[in-house]
Amino acid sequence: MLRYALTRALSLGLSLVVASVVIFAVIEVIPGDPAAYMLGMNATPEAVAALRGQLGLEGSVVSRYLGWAGGMLSGDFGVSYTYKVPVADLVAQRLWVSLPLALYALALSTLIAFPVGLIAAARRGGATDYGIMGATQLGIAVPNFWFAMLLVMVFAVNLRWFSAGGFPGWEDGLLAGLKALTLPAIALALPQASILARVMRSALIETLGQDYIRTARAKGLSRRQAVLRHALRNALIPVLTIIGLQFSFLLAGAIIIENVFFLPGLGRLVFQAITQRDLIVVESLVMLLVFAVIVVTFLVDLAYAAVDPRLRRRT
């Protein structure tokens, strides 16, 4: 197990390094001179040179990369050109909106999908199954940000159960924060839950056709016991893969859906930064998002090993 975890951790580190090189290359090497790009056409050479010095853009590409990467390791993400404050401070506040939103949605999606997929598989071919399959087919087709707009129309504008947007901040208490994130999380979670429920259903149906289920039935387990004691855990393996992939979709979705609910998350920061050509902010933010996705992939790998003994001893 330890050895498996170590090899996965090594691969995690490697992915982070390669990803950071790619991001660095796109932002700082491809545009030629980032300082000139950030200031636009009309900048004087003196202004460009000054900005270059301010951003630490002097020196070779390699030493700049090492400076940037080393800075991030020690929590220094550089200084935003437009806000004139450290990027780390900018990001820290907003991360506490986007990340909880994505995790909230992931939890909701999983909580909805598991029982729904289980019921559909258990009632395979019946009316309940057809109903669930139809509903999830529709759920997959709905763009989450549009669904969010519909939720605002119904629950905030007409029913007035929730506020139409904004975020009070976590200082006002956990519940107030969660309430503000509830409509966005539902909007994000339902389409993902539709996908997950379908994966859960087909994984279970596939597992139920395996020889060891027949063996279990021959031992005297009822159909229900065979599902709960043997099929469920085996079906979890493909489901875990999808949960891992969903996190990256949900994080991206959270950034988009913040627009609908006027949430002060990473989304607004990054889109403003793009408009203002604040490459330093974009670079750090993208690295942060990719970091989150890679770490979740790593956690999913560990979860595999917890579920599947065949991986633990594969050394």
Partner 1 sequence: MIRLEDLSVTIHGAPILSEVSLDIAPGKVTGLVGESGSGKSITALAMMGLLPHGSTASGHAWLEEGDVLAKTEREMCTLRGNRVGMIFQEPMTALNPLKTIGDQVAETLVIHGRATKREALEIARARLARVGLPEDRFPLGRYPHELSGGQRQRVCIAMAVALNPELLIADEPTTALDVTTQAQILDLLKRLVAEEGMSLLLITHDLAVVSGLADHVAVMQAGRIVEQGPTEALFRSMAHPYTRKLFAASSHQPARVAQAEDVPLLTVENAVRDYATARLGIFGQPGRFRAVNGVSFTLRRGESLGLVGESGCGKSTLTRAILGLDALQGGAIRLDGQEIHAGPHLDATIRRRMQVVFQDPYGSFNPRWRVERLVAEPFHLSPEHLPDRRDRVARALEDVGLEPEAMHRFIHEFSGGQRQRIAIARALITNPDLIVLDEAVSALDVRVRAQILDLLARLQEEHGLAYLFISHDLSVVRSVTDRVMVMKGGEIVEEGPTEAVFAAPAHDYTKALIAATPRIPADWQGEQNA
Partner 2 sequence: MRLGAQLWVGAGLTAVFLLAALLSFAWTPHDVEALNIADRLKPMGAIYPLGTDHFGRDILSMLMVGARTSIAVALVAVGIGIGIGVPLGLIAAANRGSLLDEVVMRGNDLIFAFPSLVIAILITAVFGPSALNAILAIGIFNIPVFARVTRGGALSLWTLDYILAARVAGKGRLRISLEHILPNITNLLIVQGTIQFSLGILAEAALSYVGLGAQPPTPSWGRMLAEAQTMIYTNPALAILPGLAIVAMVLGLNLMGDGLRDLLDPRVRRARG
**Amino acid identity, position 227:** V
Out of partner 1, partner 2, none, what residue 18 binds, judged by CB under 5 to 8 A for its kind, is partner 2
Size of the site for partner 1 (CB under 8 A): 29
Give the residue with the Cβ less far from partner 2, 122 or 290.
290
Give the residue with the Cβ less far from partner 1, 171 or 211.
211
> How many other β-carbons are positioned within 10 Å of the β-carbon of residue 235?
24
Which residues, other chains included, contact 91 with Cβ-Cβ below 8 Å and sequence gap of 6+?
A: 77, 266, 269, 284, 285, 288
Each residue 14-43 as x (binds partner 1 by CB under 8 A) or -, in order, gives x-----------------------------
249 binds partner 2 (CB under 8 A): yes
10 binds partner 1 (CB under 8 A): yes
Give the residue with the Cβ less far from partner 1, 108 or 200.
200
Figure out which of the listed residues 103, 221, 252, 305 binds partner 2, where binding follows CB under 8 A: 252
41 backbone dihedrals φ, ψ, rounded to 5°: -65, -40
2 binds partner 1 (CB under 8 A): no
Which 3 state secondary structure label does DSSP give 269? helix
Spatial distance between the Cα atoms of 219 and 212, rounded to a whole number of angstroms: 10
195 backbone dihedrals φ, ψ, rounded to 5°: -65, -50
Each residue 234-263 as x (binds partner 1 by CB under 8 A) or -, in order, gives x-----------------------------
Out of partner 1, partner 2, none, what residue 294 binds, judged by CB under 5 to 8 A for its kind, is partner 2
Under DSSP, the state recorded for 250 is: H
219 binds partner 1 (CB under 8 A): yes
Give the residue with the Cβ less far from partner 1, 76 or 308.
308
Which residues, other chains included, contact 71 with Cβ-Cβ below 8 Å and sequence gap of 6+?
A: 77, 78
145 binds partner 2 (CB under 8 A): yes
Spatial distance between the Cα atoms of 244 and 301, rounded to a whole number of angstroms: 9
Contact yes or no for 254/53 (Cβ under 8 A): no
